[in-house]
Each structure stands twice: as structure tokens, then as C-alpha cells.
Structure 1
Amino acid sequence: MSFLTIRTASLVCMAYIVVGAIVFSSTPTEAAKIIALKSADVDVYNEALEGFKSALQESTIVEYDMEGDLQRGKKFLARLKSGPKPDLILAVGIWALQVVVEEVQDIPVVFAMVLNPTTVIGQEARNITGASMNVPIEQQLALLKKVSPQVRRIGVIYDPSQTGFLVRQAERLAKDLGLRLVTKAITSPKDSFAALDAIQDEIDALWILPDLTVLTSESVQYMLLFSFRHKIPVLGLSENQVRMGALFGLSFESGWDIGSQASELANGILSGRSVEQIPFTTARKVRLAVNLKIAGKLGVHIPKEILDRAAVVIR
């Protein structure tokens, strides 16, 4: 499944974690009771659920598919309140996380397959952690730095309400790598064109963030055309964007591994750790795609160490 397909199911809302002190309540001899709430019947969500279950075989896991319907998820959670509480809820996908945030405050929650989890989880949520789909910022910036010694200024178009937290993190990390972000904030997709044109003489590379406001098909196509016209390499979000014309694409490797990460967090909670001790994670395994055709057009030499890491090389 391409990133854009996943984005359709996953970038409806964003989420973040502010954790608290919910402690496992079952006795050690009892099998943990877990509710797995799935946003929709999507392959990558199913993979994540299988990855989660693979490390929690001694637990009783009851699965429920929201079928892409937020109200269906809310009704299910309302019924859940009338019976015995589960020890933990797994929320797979952004819709499941959204309804859990709204409806559940007294049960530990672990999410999986959520992109940008920082803008859904409110400041008062104290019972949530999880495994996000985000690729670590350090890896993305390090990749851009290795492209060429001339890459020092990285252009970023973003919506502060969507990915402002990522930009703030990246600005701090960029300094340590001798890089500088050249940012333009927008609030509407139509603003992305003018924002990009405004920084065309100030950047050496362009970085596409997982930002719903920026990721319209028109904006992405304009970024890739901009790259070709100005010979500026683009770091995209997926193999699909690389095939469209980005030089690189970095994405999470698999839903199964994200689910496995979520199971490790759940095991920590079920072993007695409080949620506040378990911060959410980013993808620990990433998939790199490289487009050598674009590299040739841009006059960029791709180091062998990058090619050796790549899962996909378009020649």
C-alpha cells in the first residue's frame, strides 16, 4: 500500500502524547484483557494488529473494526463502559485514536499506525502512549546532509497547527549537523506555491513533511516540478513520491513492526509501569527509496553507502 493510500486513512486528524500515571490493575496470574479497536479494514492496519498480537499471546484480545465510522467507534466504547474494564486498549489508526481520546480517560491506551500523534491527544490526556509511523527526524536530516557537501539550507513548507512541533524539533537537531532550516508557514494548501517560490534562492534542498495542509496532490506535484527546474533535491515521504520525482523517500518499513513496537509498550504497562514512564516511539525500521534518474538530472552523486541502504533504487 502506498503512503498516499495510508495517508487517506490516517491523516484525518493528528495526535500527541502527554502521559500520566495509569497502572496495570490485573494480578500477575490473570491473562490481560485487551480491546483492539481498529480504524478500518486496511491491510497495513491488519499487519500492525498481527505484529501486536505476536508478542502478547498470553493475553485475551478482543478485536473491533470501526469500519471507518467514528460514530460506530464511539458507540462501541460507550457499550464497553457498562461492563468490566479491559486492562488496556489498543487503538490502530488515527480514527481509533481519536475516538479513544474523546471517550476513554481511565484505561491505559496504546496506539499504533498513527502519523503525527501530537495534535489529537490533548493536554489533559494522561493515559496514552504508542508507536507512531513517523520516521525519526535525525535520520532524515542526516540523509540530506550526506547528499552533498553543498547542502546546508533545507527548505520546509509547513502548517504550524499540523507539523509545527516537528519543525521545532528539526531546528534544534539541524544546528548540531551544521544545517539550517529555511521555513515558510502556511495555513492553506493554496499558499504553498507562493511560499515555495519565496525561498527558491535560499535553499539547497527541500524536505516534504507529513503535513496534511501541504500534502495535496497539486502541492506535491509543484514541489517536484520546482525541484527539477531549480535542480534542488527533494526528500519525500514514500516510494510513491520518489517514483513521481523526489530524489529520496523515507518511510516506516512495515505495519507489522509498528504493531510489534506497540506490543512492547503494552507489555511495559501490563508489567506495572505507569504510562508516564513510557513515551511514544517513532519508526525504528525505515524504508529508503532512491531515484537515480532524478539524481542524474539534478547533477547529484549518490554515495554508495546510501545506495547500499536503499530498499528501492530507481535506475
Structure 2
Amino acid sequence: MRRGIGLLVWLLPFLLAQPARGSDVVIVKSKDLAAYEKAINGFKEGFKGSVVTLTMQGRLADPANLAAAVREAEPRAVLAVGLSAAKALRAEITDVPVIFCLASTPSLNKLRSGNVTGVDIEPPVRDQFRALQEVAPKVRKLGVVYDPKYSARLVEDARRAAGELGLQLVAREVRERREVGEALRQILPQVDGLWLLRDVTVVTREFLDQALIIQAEKKIPVLAYSDQFVRKGAVVAFAASYQSQGRKAAQIIMAILEGAKAGEMSLQTPEGSLIINRGAAERAGVAVPDSVWKRAGVQVVGQ
């Protein structure tokens, strides 16, 4: 009897790792994170089919074992939540559509392949710039520091978007973190707004602190890419919540189950929402129009 119980205890992790056959979608999380759970909840809001969830831990941390567990479920599509899951499934699963979200990487397009597509981590840059114009209408010249290794394509898109909106983008390239401070000092006399983009060379705690000091002392509002940065003191962001990225993934998978081809679909952009730090705006001398404060869906933080 004891041997039987011991055998069951030993087998339990392996049994639990095997999803039910015939699931519509297998969700694979890179790890257990609150952000990933929020994205999955958003996905389930939009997708009502059968779903089973796996986490890349234990024996499933090995891509081959993970792929075997996914195939065991015989899903019609797979949702990869997080970069590790996206990379593993792209390498191991080639005969089932794979959709990724929350895969933060400098080049999401490199994750795409014949059966793989996904959700961008941010709304279109044009929407972000438009949000800045609504909150801080006096901004005309927007400064940005970036590493072309990671952000060349984004800055190219941003130049076009800025031109369409009547903004001038003043950009300075850096290739090492030690160059960031000097690049920022060089552009300050030429700009009346700062754009923080998701660039691993540029965005550090020191850079954010420096940008917030400039915002307060020079009255140059900061457009951030994350609501977390707005809560820390940036004036504004137009950002996608984790839930909205999950909902967008649900839309992609529903389209695929209705006949669309993952490999023929471009990266999809999630819906964003406007977040404003009221206190930061006041300290930066930004007179936010009353119509913006009254708009439905605007998140206001900071007093």
C-alpha cells in the first residue's frame, strides 16, 4: 500500500503536466507572474473555447518536454505568454498556430514565422504621440534617445508619425549606456517634450530619474511607454494593459480558428488607454485641457 502511494506521489507532477486531449487552445506561460495571469484573464474574456494552461517549470522548462505536452493536448492553436514561451514554442512547434503576447523583445518581428504571429506590447506610436498632443498641446519638438541596435525601426516609424501630426522628432543615437546622459543633454535645448521608448540600452533607473528631474526643472513633459512610469512621475502615457494584450490575442486566435493563416498575419497592436499624472502635469507647467480630464476611460494618478 505504501509503495503504491509513494509511486503515485512520484508520478503526480508528470500526470498533472499532461493536458486534456482535444483542447481548443493550450496556453503556455513562461513563468508564474501576475502580469501573465492578467493577460490570460484578458484572453479568457474574449475566447470562450476550451483552454488548458501549462507553465514552463519543472520538466516543462525543457522545450522538448514542453512541446510534447502541448502536442498531447492536440490543440487547434497555442498561446505563448512571455518571451521564453514564445521562443521555445517557435522552435519546437511548427504544425500548429502559435500566438504570442507579453513577449518583450527589441524585435518582435523576429519571432514571426510560417505558423507564428502575435501581439505587439505597445499601441501604435502614432496613437502615443496623439495622446501627448491632447494632454500637452504646446509640445512641438519631441526629443528621444535610442540605440539603433534595438530601436531603429521604431524611431523610423516615429519620424513618419510625428511628421503626420505636425511634430518634429529630435533623435540622438547611442550605442552604450554611458553615452545616454550626454545625448540627453545635447537635445534638451532643442525640444519641449521627451519621449521614453522601450530601449534596453537607454531606459535605466538613472535615466528615468534624470528625465523626471528635467521634466520638473525645465518644464519639459515626459511621454512614457508604461503606466508604471506615469505613476512614478512622468506626465503621460498611452499604454496597453496586460488584459488588453490578452484580449487582442483572443481576437487573433478566433480569426485563425475561422480560417486565417498565422504566418500571413502581421503583428497586431493592442488597444491603449490614456494615463495622466495630475501632479506631475502641474509641476511641469502642462495645462491639460478640461475636455481630456472629463473623457471616459482616462486614468488619472498622482495629486
Superposed displacement of residue 63, structure 1: 1.6
Higher RCO by CA contacts (8 Å cutoff, separation 6 or greater): 1
Matched, 1:211 2:199: yes
Candidates 171, 190, 202, aligned match of 1:183: 171
Mapped partners of 2:269, 2:203: distance in 1: 20
Mapped partners of 1:82, 1:32: distance in 2: 10
Candidates 266, 280, 295, aligned match of 1:294: 280
Superposed displacement of residue 80, structure 1: 4.3
Determine helix, strand or coil for the equivalent of 1:64. strand
Amino acid at match of 2:38: E
RMSD: 2.7
Determine helix, strand or coil for the equivalent of 1:106. coil
**Partner in structure 1 of residue 4 of structure 2:** none
User: Which structure 2 residue ranges, 5 or more long, are not aligned?
Assistant: 1-20
Superposed displacement of residue 307, structure 1: 1.9
Mapped partners of 1:127, 1:308: distance in 2: 44
Cα deviation code 1:1-26 (max 9, x no counterpart): xxxxxxxxxxxxxxxxxxxxxxxxxx
Q: Percent identity?
A: 31
**Partner in structure 1 of residue 55 of structure 2:** 65
Q: How does 1:162-241 map to 2 (within 5 A)?
A: 162-241=150-229
Amino acid at match of 1:152: R
Superposed displacement of residue 193, structure 1: 0.6
- Higher gyration radius (CA): 2
Contact kept? 2:26, 2:73, Cα under 8 Å: no
**Partner in structure 2 of residue 152 of structure 1:** 140
Matched, 1:86 2:80: no
Candidates 238, 247, 260, aligned match of 1:273: 260
Mapped partners of 2:62, 2:193: distance in 1: 42
Mapped partners of 1:82, 1:294: distance in 2: 50
Determine helix, strand or coil for the equivalent of 1:142. helix
Change over 3 Å in CA distance of 1:64–1:148 after alignment to 2: closer
Matched, 1:51 2:39: no
Cα deviation code 1:14-57 (max 9, x no counterpart): xxxxxxxxxxxxxxxx9654321101111221122233234443
Change over 3 Å in CA distance of 1:214–1:308 after alignment to 2: farther
Determine helix, strand or coil for the equivalent of 2:156. helix
Mapped partners of 2:139, 2:70: distance in 1: 54
**Partner in structure 1 of residue 5 of structure 2:** none
Mapped partners of 2:227, 2:240: distance in 1: 11
Superposed displacement of residue 301, structure 1: 0.7
Superposed displacement of residue 91, structure 1: 0.2
Candidates 256, 272, 283, aligned match of 2:270: 283
User: Which structure 1 residue ranges, 5 or more long, are not aligned?
Assistant: 1-29
Mapped partners of 2:131, 2:261: distance in 1: 35
Cα deviation code 1:266-308 (max 9, x no counterpart): 111111111244332222142x332233333322211112222
Change over 3 Å in CA distance of 1:176–1:109 after alignment to 2: same
The structure that is helix-richer by fraction is: 2
Determine helix, strand or coil for the equivalent of 1:190. helix
Contact kept? 2:131, 2:238, Cα under 8 Å: no
Superposed displacement of residue 176, structure 1: 0.9
Mapped partners of 1:108, 1:117: distance in 2: 23
Superposed displacement of residue 149, structure 1: 4.7
Contact kept? 1:144, 1:205, Cα under 8 Å: no
What's the TM-score, normalizing by structure 2?
Answer: 0.82
Mapped partners of 1:295, 1:118: distance in 2: 32
Mapped partners of 2:40, 2:70: distance in 1: 23
Superposed displacement of residue 93, structure 1: 1.3
